[in-house]
Amino acid sequence: MKRILIVDDAATVRMYHRNILETAGYAVDEAVNGIEALEKSLQEPFDLYVVDVNMPKLDGYGFLRELRSQDILQAPAIMVSTEAESNDHKQAYAAGANDYLIKPVKPEQLLIHVKLLIGETFT
Amino acid sequence: MNPLLEQFLSEARDFLQGIGEKLMQLENNPGNAELMTELFRFVHTLKGNSGLFEFPEMTRVLHAGEDLMDAVRHGQVEFSKELADRLLDSMDFVGLLCDEIEANGNIGAAHAADSARLAASLRQLIVKVESPAAVAAVVAASLLATLAETHAGQGEGERLPLVKIPETVRMDAYRHACKGAALHWLDYAPAEECFFQGDDPFFQARNTPGILWGGITTRQPWPKLAEPDAYRCVLDFHVLSTAPREELDEYYRYMPDQVRMIPVPPLSLALPDGKHNGGPMYEEFVSNAIGLLGKGRLEGLSRAARTLLDLSRPDLWLSSALRWLLLVMELEPENQDAFGALIKSLRHLIPPQWAELQPGLPGKTLEPESTLTPAEAEALTALLAVQRNILTLPIEASWQLGRIKAVASALSGCLKASGNLAALPGLEAATAMALNEAVSTPLLVWLDGALQERQQAATAETQTVQADAITRTSPNTEGQSKFGRRSEDVVAGSKSIKVDQVKIDRLMNLIGEMVVSKNALPYLAGRAETVFGVRELSREIKAQYAVINRIAEEMQDAIMQVSMMPVSFVFQRFPRLVRDTSRKLGKEVNLVLEGEETEADKNIIESLGDPLVHIVRNSLDHGFELPEVRLASGKPAVGTLTIRATQESDRVVIEISDDGKGIDPKVIKQKAYEKGIIDEAALERISDQEAVNLVFASGFSTVEVVSDLSGRGVGMDVVKTAVERVNGTVALESAKGKGTRIRLSLPLSMAVTNVMIVESDGQVFGMPMDSVVETVRVPRSAIRTIKNSLVTVLRGCIVPLKSINTLLEIDAPPIANAEDELAILVVRLGDESVGLLVDDFRETVDIILKPLSGVLAGLSAYSGSALMGDGSVLMILNVKEML
């Protein structure tokens, strides 16, 4: 089963994303900030990351930069943000994100992007 | 309620609390960037959370709040008290919505107007620095958004391009309409930046309820292939729907300003279309048909039309008109004007002028892609464009190769997902080469090749993306600062869990039973020795009892700790209360909170809330003077209100002190005398200290004018009652001109009650030790009767006596001991002492008091029952109710 890490400081958002992804059959883990996400990724890399921008301790950009500088399997990352940071999507790509979605992400939209990036064939 | 919503509400309340606190702190410390960032993050996250649900009313306000805080933290708007006020109002509103969601699961439509008003008032502050015109524009825009119902153009003179809809679809729609369905033409013009607002216009339009047909038009002629900006939406969507208006309004409730809904009269769909071939050659049929129609021979007309239709090619304009004629005749047989109009249209091959509706601009119909669904294909195109964009970013350090690896992972994912496995080896080779040379060029070349194969349109998009990317390759400074946010944004994470109160109550009950049932062991040991004569076993049971007893007591203590909470729980509301109230009164008061971490049982803490609020309001209203008065009497203009919590042995003491004008004992005495609370003798006798405590007497209020804040007919007696209900005491000290101090003393926990057991008529009763003053035995001769009441004199004071048997309606006289002395339990009732005649005194015990339930709850003479060690039930007396 493909493993996805949700990195977000808001418990509600984590639960929302987890519900969508678990229903679709992915194994989901959570982290509340960049530091925790990094620790978890180093233990065992994930197949995909769904990352919030604004978080305490280490934000989404910081986490992705750290992640990309590790010598581990580099899985795609979807950065999820609200429109307040809509102009920052280039910055997200520079930090190492592969995709940029805007909150609230609709379930269908999230699943399409996850499926495309994680490489699961559509049936 | 579903768990996600519960989670949202619980988290939302925490955030609202946090926002309130940060705002207070910011008021005292307006320049603090850290607080500002934290505050922004709270509002921002809360808004993000609310967006997951269908709560547009909530999201709208939070969004405005977020924008405002964003402007504040970037220094575009200055932080002011007014701003804080509005933000607090808005957060109160959000809190209210949360309550409503918790109660009803959704938000009533009635809040839309408030929501728009609050959002507008917040946005007003953002644009203040700009120009008055901009303010007007913003306010107008937000008001427009709420007046969603009043869409422009309700059909009259509207030229809808209905003819572009295929005839079969139009006929289908017409059939629906004749069955009573509402027909609407929707023009949906998404905002250009809609992709950044989380909208998916194509998806939105396609999923319109009751959709029969959909079309897309461009707003301006298509630019050259290389030019379009893939991130802007320049398309308009058109939908023909049979759904009721309310359903459509609901579906498009987030974008009312982008949607026009135009009711479509069913007949306006009857637009013949096709090859004109010929012309007035049908004159014979037309005059014949009109003749038949005039004579009302509809069957003949229908037959004639059918015959002509059979003879004509189906793609002719004529055939189309005949098909419509037959359909209208079938569904609206009484509408002969319509038949006539359709027949006459054959003369010039011009569609009937149903309601001045005419065909307009040509529409572009949807062409779904073959392999993937349109939404998937769209996402794939966008993703590939993004990966290409990423590859054009410069590689400045070796670690950035991780980015290339990630892009390769993403691309291989896209290939697998779209079933293009044949391209995988090429991708792998290109990736290896790129990593080897530490440049992204090989991968970029590969991707361009792949894209070219995919389709031209996709290539066009990526070129714009590339152009976009080149202009932004310089390092983003904002990103650097965000990265360095680690230290300033640390939030203390506490290792705590939320537990339902019911679970804790259950634990408390269980340990209560455990404590009681362990008390059966000594009883058992006694029986082992006396009844069965096994002294050895008796000793062993006692030894084991000691162990169990210790563990049970420790456990009881631990469980009680669980339901202990800090007084900050009640204190936290005061900064806001003091701030709002003092500003309303035009006073300046500085609130000092001390000992917030002092803990007490949750029930005690909760019972503290209302009395404290009352005391604080009283103090603000009556205690503090206006700033000018304070200055005149040599005090600082800003008054100080201190609320201090401390623990004194097994009690929590809360002191509320102010440096206001204090209480004048003379005024109080006079007032109390006027109100008949004290008599003339007492007026002379009582000390100043006793006098000020008269404010606790019921029906006492010294201020002539009932004020908006505290004087609502309830006095300090309410405070006293509430505190005494949880076995607390309240005392007041005041120095005229210097200030007032109120001291509340409360037990740490209500879980364990210490009672004295008394016996009467062979039954035992429990009397809470809090109310027991003393136990005495007096000779029968010392008891006298005054005016039908029994009294005795104890240490020079007359104490009224009541027989417990009489009070409980037990028909038995009190029993005296061998020396003919009667047992009297002296209890405190308010400020008086009352003696209860009982038969005998027993020991005192700790019990877990359980309120009576069911039918027994009506027995007010008892405050509850408790289970004793030997399994018997002890009834606990309620002194106040009994007397």
More confidently predicted of B554 and B421: B554
Give the per-residue pLDDT at B553. Answer: 83
* Confidence at residue B640, expressed as pLDDT on a 0 to 100 scale: 92
Mean pLDDT is lowest, of A69-78, B745-754, B795-804, for B745-754
CA distance between the termini of chain A: 16
**Would residue B153 count as lying in a domain?**
no
Instruction: Evaluate whether B812 touches B761 at the Cβ level (below 8 Å).
Output: yes
Same domain, B594 and B550: no
Cβ within 8 Å of residue A86, ≥6 positions away: A102, B193, B196, B197
Q: Please check the confidence at residue B460 and state whether its pLDDT lies above 70.
A: no
Contact flag B413-A118 (C-beta cutoff 8 Å):
yes
Per-residue b or e along A43-72, where b marks 16 or more CB atoms closer than 10 Å to that residue's CB: eebbbbbbbbbbbbbbbbbbbbbbbbbeee
> What pLDDT sits at residue B33?
81
Pick the residue from chain B with its C-alpha nearest to A122.
B417
Half-sphere exposure of B563 (CA within 13 A, CB side): 24
What pLDDT, on the 0 to 100 scale, is given for residue B474? 41
Evaluate if residue B352 carries a pLDDT over 90.
no
Considering the domain architecture, whether residues B555 and B573 belong to the same structural domain is answered as no
Q: What is the CATH number of the domain that holds B109?
A: 1.20.120.160
In terms of domains, do B871 and B845 share one?
yes
For residue A113, what are the β-bridge partners?
A: none
pLDDT digits (tens, 9 = 90+) for A29-76: 999 989 999 999 888 889 999 999 888 888 888 898 888 888 788 889
In a domain, B157, yes or no: no
Domain shared by B584 and B612, yes or no: yes
Q: How confident is the model at residue B131 (pLDDT cuts 50, 70, 90)?
A: very low
In angstroms, the Cα distances linking A13 to A92, B4, B58, B108, B342 are 19, 9, 16, 24, 58
pLDDT at B793 over 80: yes
Q: How many beta carbons lie within 10 A of that of residue B479, not counting itself?
A: 19
* Residue B455 confidence (pLDDT): 55
Q: Are B559 and B571 members of one domain?
A: no
CATH code: domain of residue B806:
2.40.50.180
Q: Do the beta carbons of residue B457 and residue B423 sit within 8 Å? A: no
Is B49 close to A10, i.e. CB distance below 8 A? Answer: yes
Over its C-alpha atoms, chain B yields an Rg (Å, rounded) of: 42
Nearest by Cα to B325 from B300, B297, B349, B306: B306
Cβ count near B330 (within 10 Å): 11
- pLDDT (tens digit, 9 = 90+) per residue, B262-312? 888 788 788 888 777 655 557 777 778 888 887 777 888 888 888 888 877
pLDDT digits (tens, 9 = 90+) for B171-229: 888 888 888 888 888 888 888 777 777 778 888 888 888 888 888 888 777 766 666 67
Lowest mean pLDDT among B72-81, B544-553, B816-825: B72-81
Q: Is residue B356 part of a domain?
A: no
* Percent of chain B's residues with pLDDT above 90: 5
The domain locations on chain A are 3-118
The pLDDT, as a whole number, for residue B738 is: 87
> What dihedral angle (degrees, nearest 10) is formed by the CA atoms of B416, B419, B422, B424?
-10
Band of pLDDT at residue B139, cut at 50, 70 and 90: very low
**What's the complex ipTM?**
0.84
Query: Is the pLDDT confidence value at B828 over 60?
Result: yes
pLDDT at residue number B826: 92
pLDDT for B183 equals 86
What single DSSP character describes residue B677? S
Check B407 against A105: CB less than 8 A apart.
no
Chain A residues with CB-CB distance to B370 below 8 A: none
Indicate the residue of A56, A69, A121 with minimum beta-carbon distance to B490.
Answer: A56
Same domain? B605 vs B730? yes
Same domain? For B14 and B104 the reply is: yes
Q: How far apart are CA B589 and CA B739, in angstroms?
A: 13
User: Which residues of chain B does A61 touch, with a Cβ-Cβ cutoff of 8 Å?
Assistant: 479, 482-483
- Average pLDDT for B585-597: 89
Which of A10, A56, A98 lies nearest to residue B406, judging by beta carbons? A98
> Looking at the structure, do residues B142 and B207 belong to the same domain, yes or no?
no
Q: Do β-strands A48-52 and A77-81 pair in parallel, antiparallel, or remain unpaired?
A: parallel
Give the A window 35-94 contacts with B, CB below 8 Å. 54, 56-59, 61-62, 65, 67-70, 73-77, 82-84, 86, 88, 90-91, 93-94
Encode pLDDT of B550-578 as tens digits: 998 888 888 888 878 888 888 888 888 88
Residue of A65, A59, A5, A58 whose CA lies nearest to A31 = A5
pLDDT value at residue B154 = 37
- The confidence band for B654, taking pLDDT boundaries of 50, 70 and 90, is very high
Q: State how far the Cα of A50 lies from the Cα of A105, in Å rounded to an integer.
A: 11
Give me chain A's average pLDDT, please: 85
Task: Let me know whether B630 and B737 are in one domain.
Answer: yes
* Average pLDDT over every residue of B511-536: 84
Which of B383, B389, B491 is closest, CB to CB, to A116? Answer: B383
User: For residue B429, what are the domain limits?
Assistant: 374-483
**Residues composing chain B:** 883
A chain contacts of residue B440, beta-carbon cutoff 8 Å: none
Query: Pick from B44, B380, B389: which is nearest to A82 by CB?
Result: B44
Per-residue model confidence (pLDDT) at position A51: 92
Phi-psi region of B666 (alpha: psi -120 to 50; beta: other; left: phi over 0): alpha
Stretch (H or E) spanning B540: helix B535-562
Q: Is residue B154 part of a domain?
A: no
SS3 B355: coil
What angle do the packed helices B298-311 and B317-331 form, to 10 degrees? 150
pLDDT at B734: 85
A109 touches chain B (CB under 8 A): yes
* B211 contact partners, CB below 8 Å, separation of at least 6: B239, B240, B241
Which of B570, B640, B625 lies closest to B598, judged by CA? Answer: B570
Flag if A99 and B386 touch (Cβ within 8 Å): yes
Per DSSP, what are the bridge partners of residue B639? B589
Question: Range with the lowest mean pLDDT among B7-16, B702-711, B758-767?
Answer: B702-711
Q: Is residue B214 one of the residues assigned to a domain?
A: yes
Contact assignment for B386 to A93 by CB distance below 8 Å: yes
Q: Comparing C-alpha atoms, which of B398, B493, B498, B387 is closest to residue B438?
A: B398
So what's the pLDDT on residue B495? 60
Where do runs of H (alpha helix) occur along B29-80?
33-50, 56-73
Cβ-defined contact of B406 to A90 (cutoff 8 Å): no
Least confident of B264-273, B692-701, B835-844: B692-701
CB-nearest to B380 from A10, A116, A121 is A116
**Which of B746 and B352 is assigned the larger pLDDT?**
B746
Choice among A92-106, B4-18, B283-297 with the minimum mean pLDDT: B283-297
Mean pLDDT taken over chain B: 78
Q: At B355, is the pLDDT very low, low, confident or very high (cuts 50, 70, 90)?
A: low
Q: Is the same domain home to B705 and B591?
A: yes
A6 — pLDDT class (breaks 50, 70, 90) = very high
Residue B396 scores a pLDDT above 80:
no
User: What does the alpha-carbon distance between residue B91 and residue B62 come to, in Å, rounded to a whole number?
Assistant: 8
pLDDT band with cut points at 50, 70 and 90 for residue A120: low
Are B338 and B424 found together in one domain? no
Asked, for residue B609, whether it belongs to a domain, the answer is yes
Q: For residue A90, which residues of chain B lie inside 8 Å, CB to CB?
A: 389, 468-469, 472, 476
Provide the token pair at B382. 């966008």
CA gap A123, B842 in Å, rounded: 81
What contacts 24+ positions apart, CB below 8 Å, involve B668-672? B668/B692, B668/B694, B668/B695, B668/B702, B669/B694, B671/B700, B671/B702, B672/B697, B672/B700
Domain total in chain B: 7
Q: Which of B722, B502, B504 is nearest to B607 (CA)?
A: B722
Q: What is the mean pLDDT of residues B729-734?
A: 86
Instruction: Report the candidate in B649, B861, B871 with the shortest Cα–Cα distance to residue B766.
Output: B861
pTM of the model: 0.43
Burial of B670 from C-beta contacts in 10 A (0-12 / 13-18 / 19+): middle
Please tell me the distance from the alpha carbon of residue B816 to that of residue B780, in angstroms, as a whole number: 8
Of A12, A59, A77, the CB nearest to B485: A59
Asked if the Cβ–Cβ distance from A96 to B51 is below 8 Å, we say: no
Return the closest-CA partner of residue B449 out of B427, B425, B478. B427
Residue B235 domain-assigned (yes or no): yes
Longest dimension (CA), chain B: 137
Q: Is B403 in contact with A68 (Cβ distance < 8 A)?
A: yes
Q: Tell which phi-psi region holds residue B660, choosing left (phi > 0), alpha (psi between -120 and 50) or beta.
A: beta
Please judge whether A108 and B375 are an interchain contact, meaning their C-beta atoms are less than 8 angstroms apart.
Answer: yes
What residues of chain B lie within 8 A of the CB of A104, using their CB? 48, 51-52, 198
Confidence grade of residue B644 (pLDDT, cut at 50, 70, 90): very high
Residue type, position B428, single letter: E
Which member of B70, B393, B472 has the closest CB to residue A84?
B70
* Pair B473, B521 in one domain: no
Which CATH number is correct for A3-118, 3.40.50.2300, 3.40.50.150, 3.60.15.10, 3.30.420.10? 3.40.50.2300
